[in-house]
Structure 1
Amino acid sequence: MGGETLNPYENLANAIVLQAVKDYRLTDDEAELAEIERFFRSDWFGVLTDVDPEYLIRRLRKEKDK
C-alpha cells in the first residue's frame, strides 16, 4: 500500500483538532474564541496532538487580523 496509515484513534484526534481550528476561523464571538483557546491550552489538547498550542493560537489570531 505504501505509507503508514493512521489508526482510528489518531484519525479521531486529528478530526477533533481540525474541527476546533475550523470553529475558530468561522466565529467572531469573543467568548467562543476564548473557549476554543482554552481547549487549545488544555491537557486534553496535549493528549490529542503534539502541536504547540501557543503557536497555533498565534497563527489563528494572525489570520483573524487580516
Structure 2
Amino acid sequence: MKKDLFDLAKENGYTDEEFVNEIAQCYGTHTSLIMDKMGSGITIEHNVEFEDHTINIQCRKIIKDTRTLN
C-alpha cells in the first residue's frame, strides 16, 4: 500500500489538523513576498521536517487580474 503525506504525518505524531496547519503556515509567511516578485502568481514552498526525512511541498497559484482598463 502506498503511503500518502497524511500517513507519514500520523507515523510522526501529527494529527491531520496539525499537519494541515503546518502546511498552511507557509501561506501567511511567504505569499506576499513571492507574489511581489512573480506578479502573475504565487509559488509557495514549505518544508515539513520529520525525524528521518523532509517533505518539500510546492504549490503554484496563478492570480488573474480581473481589473479592466478604462
**TM-score interval for Structure 1 and Structure 2 normalised by the shorter chain:** 0.3 to 0.5
Per the normalisation by structure 2, the TM-score is 0.34
Q: Quick check: which one's helix share is greater? A: 1
Per the normalisation by structure 1, the TM-score is 0.35
Higher relative contact order (CA 8 A, sep 6+): 1
If you compute each CA radius of gyration, which structure gives the higher value, 1 or 2? 2
Q: Quick check: which one's strand share is greater? A: 2
